[in-house]
Amino acid sequence: MSNSARPSDRSLARQLRSAKSFCVFALGSGLLLLWPTITAHAAGPGYFGYGKLATPAEIAGWNIDVRGQDGVGLPDGKGTVDHGADVFAQQCATCHGTFGEGEGRYPKLMGGEGTLTGERPEPSVGSYWPYAPTLFDYIDRAMPFISPHTLSADDVYAVVAYILNFNNIVPNDFVADRNSLPKVKMPNRDNFTWQDPRPDTAAKECMKDCTDPKTVKIISSAEGTDLTPRTTGPLDAMTGN
Amino acid sequence: MSGRMRHGWQKSRRSFLRIGSAAAGAVVLARRAAIAGESSPPAESDWTRAVGPGVVDRTYGQPSKFEKDVIRRNVPWLTATSQSSVSFTPLQSLDGIITPNGLFFERYHAGRADVDPRQHRLLIHGLVERPLVLTMDDIVRFPSVSRIHFIECPANGGMEWRGAQLNSLQFTHGMLSCAEWTGVKLSTLLDEVGLKKEAKWVLVEGADAARMNRSLPIEKCLDDCLVVYGQNGEALRPEQGYPLRLLVPGWQGNVNVKWLRRIKVGDAPWFTREETSKYTELMPDGKARGFTWVNEAKSVITFPCPEKPLSAPGRYEVRGLAWSGRGKIKAVDVSFDGGVNWQSAQLQEPILSKALTRFTIPWQWGGQPALLESRVVDETGYVQPTIAQLRKVRGTNPIYHNNSIQTWQVKPDGKVFDVQLG
């Protein structure tokens, strides 16, 4: 008899246990089910409600970007090559040279055509840049270097026209504006790929006898070059070089 | 308090007087040695014999004065100005995977902006339902996350494409740092403004004088990008974009826009100057690669290195760092013979995705010439290539993304040189 009672006790206990674990399970899965629902709602626009809605005037003040490929964002205004030469002489030539040839280590803005496959390529606006409207975007936001974003839209257009002109990309009577700039075909435009082809190497994790030891030769050493600044003591000005 | 201290010291002096003459003689010798400026036993050093400065003597802690050479350094001949330039982290003097905030490498396009956080604003607009202006207080209120990630300038090692030029770990690999970043997921902010269905690309722009701007595909923005205000537990340093920067884990440093002030959502990339004229790789056939964002797996031995040579034959622990923009490090192998034979190095925990990972391997150096190399394999199975393998595909003019195996030549006198093998 006692034996017959036990199974029922056991089964009751089992039922209780399973009921308890069911409750825990139900609660747990309920939370699990509920949680994504909450976060899904949280993902809605304005859920947190922080900050303030940007007004058109606020956006207009900072909305300076110009897209390189299609010129979207180019502002009103226009500029000629001649006017660009004047602005360039005053604002740009100190660093970039009168005709964009560059001073010291400041960037060259012209030249280098035909060098890109050579030993010492000279990428410049003329030889390398793919899109003309990018010139407007960059000059407008970041130049002149010591007083950026101080040129009027007309002056920026003019400087862009002048730079394109001394690279022999546009004629002397070219007028840069929001319609003309996107139509300028930069000489190097089609030489860019915008899909990353990497990984483009297929090195293997070889562990033993990976190369013939006789072929292991030092072909280049930094020993004795005077290019390395010192890494102890104060900063190295390398004025001796 | 100081009176009691003095009393205690006098008491111990009295007890000195009671000890035996032989021991007293040793004490005298020790005191003489201390006066001579020695601190090895049995002598006592100056700093042990005197009470030091108290709390708040330095209210923001600084490294020991004996670490004064451990600083960011630049290569003066590299750039026209220091405002559009780079400084290098002294990896040769650092331990662990976290770069101290004061030593994190710098890259500026128009100098360091010193931004007032009370006046800083983040504008999010373009193809969104609710264009927003956010203050720093607003941004900090959003749900936050902390992640450890490296940032590496893709030009790290760029001066070595044509050959070994810089005899220094700091200058061959120091455009690399790693920190714990705290901020809000970019996806949280984009959810809050509500993306329109045409949203495909995002323009990110800094508040520096270059208004530095880059395009990013929306997939990456929604994946793991962060808008961060915390760096290793404190506010971002101005050098790192205080009060707000973008963090794009594993991708080239330049897209991690500092002093972040604007996020504009669009339907096409912008082809900005920094992603056309710069940060594109010129191939031998004259074609250039753009939008090559990810930093492929790379590793380097940080000890020994040119700055940290070997002092004498004996047992050493060779140490190094490995990292991958595609995820976690799976293995690092080390060669002592220029890549003929390799041994597995020990990886140190933690091994985190898109973070620096330490590796070590013991080495018995008998004083013979050696060619040390490390080679990383990441979780995608990608194996770090040699410079010869890279040059075969990409030539010598890409400037960016030189993730090749570094060879250190160890000479019999223990000096270490940056070399390349053929």
CA closest to B92 among chain A residues: A231
User: A220, B342: Cβ pair inside 8 Å?
Assistant: no
Residue B159: band (very low, low, confident or very high) from pLDDT cuts 50, 70, 90:
very high
Predicted confidence at residue A29, as pLDDT, reads 43
CA distance B82 to B74: 9
Q: Does B259 have pLDDT greater than 60?
A: yes
CATH 3.90.420.10 fits B68-289, yes or no: yes
In degrees rounded to 5, what are phi and psi of residue B43?
Answer: -70, 160
Extract the tokens encoding B8: 């205690």
Q: Does B264 have pLDDT greater than 60?
A: yes
Residue B335: band (very low, low, confident or very high) from pLDDT cuts 50, 70, 90:
very high
Q: Does B2 have pLDDT greater than 80?
A: no
Q: Strand, coil or helix: what is B312?
A: coil
**pLDDT per residue as tens digits for the range B178-237:** 999 999 999 999 999 999 999 999 999 999 999 999 999 999 999 999 999 999 999 999
Instruction: Give the lowest-confidence range in A27-31, A219-223, B49-53, B405-409.
Output: A27-31
Select from B406, B405, B401 the least CA-distant residue to B154. B401
Span A200-226, mean pLDDT? 96
Name the minimum distance, in Å, from the CA of B187 to any CA of chain A.
Answer: 9
Identify from A137, A186, A201 which residue to disrupt to test chain B contact, counting B C-beta atoms within 10 A and taking the largest count.
A201
HSE-CB for B176 with a 13 A CA cutoff? 34
Select from B332, B299, B303, B306 the least CA-distant residue to B316. B303
Q: Contact at 8 Å (CB) between B224 and B161?
A: no
Other beta carbons within 10 Å of A30: 10
Q: Identify the DSSP state of B100.
A: P
CA distance A32 to A152: 58
Extract the tokens encoding B365: 């150096």
Tell me the CA distances in angstroms from A143 to A66, A82, A137, B226, one per residue in order: 15, 19, 10, 29
Q: Strand, coil or helix: what is B205?
A: strand
Average pLDDT over chain B, rounded to whole?
93
Extract the tokens encoding B313: 């034959």
Name the minimum distance, in Å, from the CA of B355 to any CA of chain A.
Answer: 20
Predicted confidence at residue A42, as pLDDT, reads 52
Predicted confidence at residue B214, as pLDDT, reads 98
CA end-to-end span of chain A: 104
Q: What is the C-alpha R_g of chain B?
A: 26
Predicted confidence at residue B171, as pLDDT, reads 98
Q: Which residues of A touch B131 (CB under 8 A)?
A: 53-54, 59
CA distance B298 to B309: 22
Q: Does A145 have pLDDT greater than 60?
A: yes
The residue behind tokens 């394999």 is B377
Predicted confidence at residue B39, as pLDDT, reads 81
Q: Contact at 8 Å (CB) between B282 and B398?
A: yes
User: A58, B384: Cβ pair inside 8 Å?
Assistant: no
Select from A171, A83, A187, A48 the least CA-distant residue to A131. A187
Q: Contact at 8 Å (CB) between B208 and B240?
A: no
- Residue B184: strand pairing partners: B227
Q: Does A219 have pLDDT greater than 80?
A: yes
Predicted confidence at residue A235, as pLDDT, reads 97
Nearest to B77 among A63, A217, A241 (CB): A241
Average pLDDT over chain A, rounded to whole?
87
Domain covering B298-419 in this structure, CATH number = 2.60.40.650
Which amino acid would we find at residue B88? F
The residue behind tokens 């101290």 is B100
Angle at which helices A81-91 and A153-166 pack, to 10 degrees?
A: 100
Predicted confidence at residue B36, as pLDDT, reads 56
Q: Which residues of A touch B384 (CB under 8 A)?
A: 203
Predicted confidence at residue A181, as pLDDT, reads 98
Extract the tokens encoding B147: 């992640």
Predicted confidence at residue A40, as pLDDT, reads 43
Q: What is the DSSP string of A117-133?
A: TSSS----TTTT---TH
Q: Which residues of A touch B203 (CB under 8 A)?
A: 65
Q: What is the C-alpha R_g of chain A?
A: 34
The residue behind tokens 């329109």 is B196
Q: Which residues of A touch B163 (CB under 8 A)?
A: 219-220
Domain spans, chain B:
68-289, 298-419
What is the dihedral angle through the alpha carbons of A105, A109, A112, A113, rounded to the nearest 10 degrees?
170
Residue A43: band (very low, low, confident or very high) from pLDDT cuts 50, 70, 90:
low
**pLDDT per residue as tens digits for the range A169-187:** 999 999 999 999 999 999 9
ipTM of the complex: 0.91
pTM of the full predicted structure?
0.89
Name the minimum distance, in Å, from the CA of A155 to any CA of chain B.
Answer: 18
CA closest to B172 among chain A residues: A228
User: B393, A207: Cβ pair inside 8 Å?
Assistant: no
- Residue B347: strand pairing partners: B359
User: B271, A65: Cβ pair inside 8 Å?
Assistant: no
Tell me the CA distances in angstroms from B88 to A235, B99, B102, one per residue in order: 12, 12, 12
User: A192, B287: Cβ pair inside 8 Å?
Assistant: yes
Which domains are delineated in chain A? 65-191 (1.10.760.10)
CA distance A196 to B289: 7
CA distance B404 to B163: 12
Q: Using omega within 30 degrees of 0 as the cis cutoff, is the peptide bond preceding B41 cis?
A: no
Instruction: Give the lowest-confidence range in A41-55, B104-118, B402-416.
Output: A41-55
Residue A214: band (very low, low, confident or very high) from pLDDT cuts 50, 70, 90:
very high
Select from B172, B183, B160 the least CA-distant residue to B92. B172
Q: What is the DSSP string of B335-371?
A: ESBSSSS-EEPEEPSP--TTS-EEEEEEEEE-S--EE
**Sequence-distant (≥ 6) Cβ neighbours of residue A129 within 8 angstroms:** A135, A186, A188, B276, B277
Q: Does B140 have pLDDT greater than 80?
A: yes
Q: Does B131 have pLDDT greater than 60?
A: yes
Other beta carbons within 10 Å of B89: 26
CA distance A209 to A213: 8
CA distance B170 to B103: 11
Q: Provide the residue count of chain B.
A: 422
Percent of chain A with pLDDT over 90: 80
**pLDDT per residue as tens digits for the range B28-66:** 554 554 455 678 999 999 999 999 999 999 999 999 999
Span B18-32, mean pLDDT? 50
Q: Contact at 8 Å (CB) between B255 and B217?
A: no
Other beta carbons within 10 Å of B24: 13
Q: What is the DSSP string of A110-166?
A: S--TT-TTSSS----TTTT---THHHHHHHHHH-STTSTT-S-HHHHHHHHHHHHHH
Q: Does B129 have pLDDT greater than 50?
A: yes
User: B340, A213: Cβ pair inside 8 Å?
Assistant: yes
User: B123, A235: Cβ pair inside 8 Å?
Assistant: no
Pairing relationship of beta strands B122-126 and B260-266 according to DSSP bridges: parallel
Span A105-130, mean pLDDT? 97
